[in-house]
Structure formats: structure tokens, C-alpha cells
Amino acid sequence: MARPKIALIGAGQIGGTLAHLAAMKELGDVVLFDIAEGTPEGKALDIAESGPSEGFDAKLKGTQSYEDIAGADVCIVTAGVPRKPGMSRDDLLGINLKVMKSVGEGIAANAPDAFVICITNPLDAMVWALREFSGLPHNKVCGMAGVLDSGRFAHFLSEEFNVSMRDVTAFVLGGHGDTMVPSVRYSTVAGIPLPDLVEMGWTTQEKLDAIVQRTRDGGAEIVGLLKTGSAFYAPATSAIEMAEAYLKDQKRVLPCAAYCDGELGVEGMYVGVPTVIGAGGVERVVNIKLNEEEQAGFDNSVNAVKGLIEACKGIDSSLA
Ligand code: A3D
């Protein structure tokens, strides 16, 4: 059986890391596409030359031609610009929307059967626009944010409790922005919900509140440290986890920006929700019940995403 084909649209910081991880995990052959001449070719060759030491079998190719992504099983989109210190994700909207148009058309023409994972920010609006431009089925287009945001939350919690990250399940809902909703009630250590751990004296409510806020600011914390771009190791790892769930039909329960058709009270748009990812793409949105406080936070986040979608429609009349 032929190896799966993984197309990476954007060969910058995240794109290069995605290619390296996909090769090391032998998820398939990798095509790196970018408009910057030489960048995808250079990264593909560099990673291929690590193969003998690492011992992986995967072909890597860099290209400026969309025809080379033909028949891809998975497309991961990072094309566009990242933010710099002082910028919000929403500041990227105008420039990255134009990029989504060319990427959407390139995928539709060459890889219409692919499972598409968008990472470009502002995430929830860009995945919506990418789906509109590509015309692919909603269940085959999703956005990576929840796995990363939950990963950040889980990491901070494991440090606070001094327990293995493997035993922490963290749960973040809503848009990938300042309004995201880390859910304390649905996050656990080996099944024990966080409010119970506060009662048990493992931490205080104040410390937990600070961790929730640090999770919301997790991207900005890294932008502030790096100064020249945004996070790329953990975002790439998160998207690879989603791609692997699809390619291996793992039926993983992962939070991602998925199209909601009434689930959690959201109608006809993309926002961060728990999903099941398997060979059918986003096979299910897990329609959980929120309490009043969670629902208010989630609705606030949904409204922020709605505002960005309206802004997209204002910029590109074909989306209206
Ligand atoms: P960067 O290293 O700048 O790579 C972006 C690449 O896109 C560059 O190599 C560009 O040449 C390329 N590019 C620009 N326009 C096009 C185009 N039309 N077609 C193809 N390629 C193009 O950025 P990065 O890899 O650090 O980040 C990529 C995106 O991911 C940014 O929008 C970030 O804001 C976003 N991001 C999202 C998350 C989430 O959790 C959702 C996390 C981190 C970064």
C-alpha cells in the first residue's frame, strides 16, 4: 500500500516542524508548499538528510506549485503571517484572509479529498473562510487550537500539582483568542475534577484562577519571549496529533475548531468544541452540557468569532 501523502501549505516555523514530526513518526510522504522560493525545498532537503540518523522512511519534497499536492490525504495550513509582540491574533485578519483564498482554491483544485487542518490565525475565522473558499465538506475541514490550548493548560496544571502530564486531562472550549474558555469542571487529574482537588487542598482557587488566565495568555507569553514570531513546536505537535487520528482512524476525542450545526447552541460556524476525529474527519461534535457560567463564557467567545467572520465578509464580498 502506498504511503499516505501529507501536504503542508506554508513552510515557515510551524510548517518545517510539522514536516520534521511527520517524517519522524513515519506518517507518510511530505510535500512542503510555500510561496517563498527555496524555503520549502531547503527544509525538505535538510529534514530528508536527517533520515539516515533517525532511520525513517519518508520522502520529502519542497515546492512552489500546487500541482505537487495532488491527491494529498492530509493538508495542514500554516500559510500567512504570525503575530509580533503587541499584536493580537485578530490584527492578522486582513492579510491572512487573502492567503486563505489562494490556499482554499489550491486545495480544491488539487486535493479535494484531503482532511484539512488549518492553523493560520485568527484561527476560528480563518478555518471558516478556508472552508468557504475551498468548498470541501465541513467534516473534512477543521482548525487546530484546542489541542494546543488544552496542552498548555495541562502543562501548567501538572507543574502546579507535581504530577505527570500524562495523567492530566485539560479541557478548553471556545474561540482561540482572549475569550477562550478553559473549563475547570471538565479538567481532571486521573479523573478527579479540579474543583475536588481545590477542596482536597492540592491547590487554591486563586492559584487555579491564575493558571486559567495564564492558559488564555499562553500564546502571548511565547510571542513576548521570542519577539520575532509565535509558538511553533507545540502548535505543530498538536496538529500532528490530529492528523494521526485521521490517518489511523483512531477516533480520538480532541478539542478542535469544528463546524457546529446546532451543537452547544452554535449554528453554522466554526468554534472550539470537543470532537471525535477518525477516518471520517470530524466524525462527531461532542455536544456537552455547560453550566450557566461556562455557557456565558462560551457565548462571549462565540460572539467574538462571529465578529471576525462579519469582518471577513466585509473584506471579501464573495464570502457575504
Ligand atoms: P511563519 O514562520 O511566518 O510561516 C508562514 C509561512 O507562510 C511563511 O513561510 C510564508 O512564506 C508562507 N506564506 C505566506 N503567504 C503564503 C501563501 N499565499 N501561500 C503559501 N505560503 C504562504 O509563521 P508560523 O509558521 O510561525 O505561523 C503560521 C501561522 O500559524 C500564523 O498565522 C500564526 O499566527 C499561526 N499560529 C496559530 C496557532 C494556533 O494555535 C491556531 C499557534 C501558533 C501560530
Torsion of the alpha carbons at 143, 224, 96 and 36, rounded to the nearest 10: -100
Nearest CA to ligand 1 atom 26: 13
Contact 260, 269 (CB under 8 A): yes
pTM exceeds cut of 0.90: yes
Residue 78: strand, helix, or coil: coil
Q: What is the pLDDT of residue 214?
A: 97
Instruction: Kindly state the DSSP code that residue 248 receives in the 8-state scheme.
Output: T
Query: How far apart are the CA of 83 and the centre of ligand 1, in A?
Result: 9
Nearest CA to ligand 1 atom 30: 120
Residue 243: name the closest of 28, 34, 32 by CA: 28
pLDDT in tens, the chain (320 residues): 999 999 999 999 999 999 999 999 999 999 999 999 999 999 999 999 999 999 999 999 999 999 999 999 999 999 999 888 888 888 899 999 999 999 999 999 999 999 999 999 999 999 999 999 999 999 999 999 999 999 999 999 999 999 999 999 999 999 998 899 999 999 999 999 999 999 999 999 999 999 999 999 999 999 999 999 999 999 999 999 999 999 999 999 999 999 999 999 999 999 999 999 999 999 999 999 999 999 999 999 999 999 999 999 999 999 98
Torsion of the alpha carbons at 36, 37, 42 and 44, rounded to the nearest 10: 70
Active-site position among 20, 138, 155, 176: 176
**What are the counts of helices (DSSP H) followed by strands (DSSP E) for the chain?**
11, 14
Residue 31: strand, helix, or coil: strand
Instruction: Report how far residue 314's alpha carbon sits from residue 312's, in angstroms, rounded to the nearest whole number.
Output: 5
Q: What is the pLDDT of residue 90?
A: 86
CA distances from 211 to 74, 150, 176 (A): 34, 12, 17
Q: What is the pLDDT of residue 83?
A: 85
235 within ligand 1 shell (Cβ under 6 A): yes
CA distances from 200 to 105, 132, 272 (A): 54, 48, 30
Nearest CA to ligand 1 atom 38: 119
Residue 179: count other Cβ atoms within 10 Å of its Cβ. 17
> Which residues sit opposite 273 in a β-bridge?
256
Q: Which residues contact 202 (CB under 8 A, 6 or more apart)?
A: 161, 189
Q: Domain 146-311: state its class.
A: alpha beta
61 within ligand 1 shell (Cβ under 6 A): no
Instruction: Kindly state the DSSP code that residue 283 receives in the 8-state scheme.
Output: E
Chain position carrying cell 487573502: 98
pLDDT digits (tens, 9 = 90+) for 111-130: 999 999 999 999 999 999 99
Q: What is the pLDDT of residue 84?
A: 81
13 within ligand 1 shell (Cβ under 6 A): yes
120 within ligand 1 shell (Cβ under 6 A): yes
Q: Which atom of ligand 1 approaches the CA of 80 most closely?
A: 14
CA angle 213, 235, 120 (to 5 degrees): 95
Instruction: Report how far residue 227's alpha carbon sits from residue 261's, in angstroms, rounded to the nearest whole number.
Output: 39
Contact 76, 236 (CB under 8 A): no
CA angle 306, 179, 308 (to 5 degrees): 25
14 is in an annotated binding site: yes
Q: What is the pLDDT of residue 85?
A: 87
Query: How far apart are the CA of 92 and the centre of ligand 1, in A?
Result: 10
Q: Where are the domains of the chain?
A: 5-143, 146-311
Q: Active site includes 138?
A: no
Q: Domain 5-143: state its class.
A: alpha beta
Instruction: Report how far residue 210's alpha carbon sits from residue 217's, in angstroms, rounded to the nearest whole number.
Output: 10
